[in-house]
Structure 1
Amino acid sequence: MKKTENKTRRTAAQESDYVTNRVLTVFAGGILLLIFATYLKNGLSYASSFTTALGVAQGSIWTGLVLALAGLVLTGRQLAKGTYKSTTLFNGNGLLMLGLLLSLCGYLMVDFGPQQALRALYVIIPVWAILYLIYSVYPREFFTIATAMTLQAAFLWLVAKSAVSNSFSSTTGVFLALGLVVCAALEGLYLATRSNQGRLKWGKVSITVFNHDTKHALVATVAVVGAVLLLAAFFLGGSVGYYAMYAVAAVLFLMAVYYTARMM
């Protein structure tokens, strides 16, 4: 009896240490990326440092792509062999995420201007870090739903912003279509994985997208409500898109509280 209790306590302590280390690692990485983005912004803003900063930015694009490819290959091989462990602090997924963010950072700085790029990265990097933590720690159904809702909120903002912009008004319909694709993809993923207990399978590779007991009503509600909000933002215009975005963010926060309490 005592051996079982000790083993349970040891497992709980290991899980707690893993969560703590993952949180510290991800947010430390996010802070370092923001510092790097700030350096690029400052370097590209002055003629004396422009050439050096441009070279660093272009180098970060290719370095990030190499890291992302290495992470993708490593994760794919581990999944194929059945040796992948999501609870490992440093794994292929972490390398993939780091590479994509590093490459995105350089790309935005070079192609969209340092000021606009830094503003975007101040949002993208923290959101990406939070989603990665959700992927690592929370039930997989919450990660999938949270990712879909984050994309819905982003497209709601883009629809609202582009509708009143002289430069991007022609892209409003494109943003609406992409947002509706996200909603349809969420529902499609559930239907495609329902018979495999929430898993997508390609040969030997199996990826968990939902929990085996995920309710269809939850997924369908997120997809349908998201689609309705996007259509309302497109046809009603004004501030509807912004209010809808805040509503999605608020619901997502409440869901995070619910899943956190359920895990305790």
Structure 2
Amino acid sequence: ILAAAGAFVGAATALVRWNMATLSFMTIVVPVIMLLGILWALYDRECALALTVLGASLFVLWGVRRYGSSMYVGTTVKICVVIYLVLLAALAALTKSGKLNKLLPPKADKLPVYAACGLSALALLASLLGGGISYYAMWALAAVVFALAVYYTVKQL
């Protein structure tokens, strides 16, 4: 654990030294990863998987908003969005076929995972139209994340 923590701190320091804008990104990524760890430990698997998909989609939307219209990396960002959309489709297909036994038990409700993949894909496709749309898509997905987290928290009680 100490070696992993040291490697993380070293990598984070190298990223911040390379580009100072990474510092603000890291102040968001680290707490989100910690929250996802708590979700996977405490909540139902379908909720944790759906929230993980939505959280990753929020980061992708942030990247599209921030760098999608860039003259230098805009095309690369859009290619990454297409790759992420293919990964979402693959996750939905694997969920439907039941091949995610370690992540999702056979009796689990698959609807939250389908909804998360569908909403994420819709938001990302809309974000490819322009940077302003990705801003509002981020807020819409954040509202869905909040509503899903509240629903499963109440359900757990």
Residue aligning to 1:252 = 145
Higher normalized contact order (CA 8 Å, seq sep 6+, divided by chain length):
2
| Alignment partner of 1:106 is 2:13 | no
In 2, Cα distance between equivalents of 1:189 and 1:103: 33
Name the TM-score, length of structure 1 as normaliser.
Answer: 0.53
Q: Is the 8 A contact 2:92 2:113 kept in 1?
A: yes
In 2, Cα distance between equivalents of 1:223 and 1:241: 16
One-letter amino acid of the structure 1 residue matched with residue 118 of structure 2: V
CA offset digits 1:99-122 (Å, max 9, x no partner): 4xx534422421452632321210
In 2, Cα distance between equivalents of 1:247 and 1:233: 12
Residues 185, 108 of structure 1: CA spacing in aligned structure 2 closer, same or farther, 3 A cutoff?
farther
Residue aligning to 2:117 = 223
Alpha-carbon distance, 1:227 to partner: 1.1
In 1, Cα distance between equivalents of 2:87 and 2:54: 9
| Alignment partner of 1:262 is 2:155 | yes
In 1, Cα distance between equivalents of 2:131 and 2:15: 29
Q: Which has the larger radius of gyration?
A: 1
* Greater shift in the superposed pair: 225-234 or 110-119: 110-119
In 1, Cα distance between equivalents of 2:126 and 2:24: 27
Residues 247, 259 of structure 1: CA spacing in aligned structure 2 closer, same or farther, 3 A cutoff?
same
Q: Is the 8 A contact 2:40 2:48 kept in 1?
A: yes
One-letter amino acid of the structure 2 residue matched with residue 183 of structure 1: L
Q: Is the 8 A contact 1:233 1:241 kept in 2?
A: yes
Name the TM-score, length of structure 2 as normaliser.
Answer: 0.84
CA offset digits 1:8-44 (Å, max 9, x no partner): xxxxxxxxxxxxxxxxxxxxxxxxxxxxxxxxxxxxx
Residues 215, 138 of structure 1: CA spacing in aligned structure 2 closer, same or farther, 3 A cutoff?
closer
Residue aligning to 2:136 = 243
Residue aligning to 1:210 = 104
Aligned residue pairs: how many?
155
Structural RMSD (CA): 2.2
CA offset digits 1:40-99 (Å, max 9, x no partner): xxxxxxxxxxxxxxxxxxxx9xx32xxxxxxxxxxxxxxxxxxxxxxxxxxxxxxxxxx4
| Alignment partner of 1:179 is 2:84 | yes
Residue aligning to 2:70 = 165
User: Tell me, what secondary structure is at the counterpart of 2:108?
Assistant: coil
Residue aligning to 1:232 = 126
Gaps of at least 5 residues in structure 2 are none
